[in-house]
Chains A and B, each alone.
Chain A
């Protein structure tokens, strides 16, 4: 039986540093997917996730058990991605080179899947950062509006509005690509 996140956190706080690896293993993929949607480039996403886990480790004592650990961690990831975007000083997502390269190498369904992924990444890159966050959290991480509000620090109604606007914009961008 796998221990819940809160029990693992308690072990780490009691001095069992190796137990933190359990949390990394459980949540790394999810954090990386979110960071990849927000930042676009895989290297940047990888760096942001690494920094987020370190920050989580440093401030583990501040984690309160009444909150879901995943939500707490995703909030740190979102903040790291915002910082990374701020460092870039421009609100655009770099195109994920690894997908573009892989698209040439693949064929059949795999090629179609990668082409779709590239198309989506390009469209996401044209959304503003707030809308990208809304789309990634709502559809990528499948969070409720309450959870999204907790992760982003915005209100529930603001999140609903962002999702609606982001959906409309994304649909328009994808249609534009198909007609081009």
Chain B
């Protein structure tokens, strides 16, 4: 049963249902434009008309391409960061290499700094700056 609040006077409902006469050539104009369009869901493929399954293949293709591109960019970025760290960080100290094959440990020492460099470093450590020196 219809709620009274959801009703209109009979003449109003009747007027709303009254058909609107379409222009004489309305359907013809629509069909002319339809014919001017390419087929909506069909695509020529080897001479035969086959239904196209929406736009899913195209979107999947783009997604895969985007994922591959993102992976390549990330890999390149990580490689570049690794290269930078390798060249920027001085490697002095002791690196312990574990040989899992025979259980032995090999202590490898990176080559010492060049002698003049080491001497200069020792000099700076040995003689801290003095207030009198600057005067």
* A interface list, Cβ under 8 A from B: 12-15, 17-18, 20-21, 24-25, 28-29, 32-33, 36-37, 42, 45-46, 49-50, 53-54, 57-62, 113, 116-117, 120, 135-136, 138-140, 142, 160, 163-164, 167-168, 170-171, 174
Contacts and interface: CB of A to CB of B under 8 A. Distances in A.
A15 B51 CA distance: 8
Interface in B23-53: 23, 26-27, 29-31, 33-35, 37, 39-42, 49, 51-53
Contact of A46 (B12, B23, B42): B23
Interface of B: 3, 5-9, 11-13, 15-20, 22-23, 26-27, 29-31, 33-35, 37, 39-42, 49, 51-54
A156 B55 CA distance: 31
B40 A140 contact: no
B8 A12 contact: no
User: Chain B interface mostly helix, strand, loop or mixed?
Assistant: mixed
A139 B19 CA distance: 13
Per CB-CB distance, the 5 closest pairs between chain A and chain B, nearest first, are A61-B41, A140-B16, A15-B49, A139-B16, A164-B5
Nearest to A138: B6
A62 to B, nearest CB: 6
Given A136-B16, A170-B12, A61 B6 contact: no
24 contacts: A21-B27, A25-B27, A32-B20, A32-B22, A33-B19, A50-B29, A50-B30, A50-B33, A53-B34, A54-B30, A58-B37, A61-B51, A61-B53, A61-B54, A62-B54, A113-B15, A117-B15, A120-B12, A120-B15, A135-B8, A139-B16, A139-B17, A140-B16, A140-B17
Contacts of B33: 50, 54
A60 B40 contact: yes
B34 A163 contact: no
A45 B22 CA distance: 10
Contacts of A15: 39, 42, 49
Given A15-B49, A17-B39, A139-B17, 18 more contacts: A25-B27, A28-B30, A29-B22, A33-B18, A33-B19, A50-B29, A50-B30, A53-B30, A53-B34, A54-B30, A54-B34, A57-B40, A58-B37, A61-B52, A116-B15, A135-B8, A140-B16, A170-B8
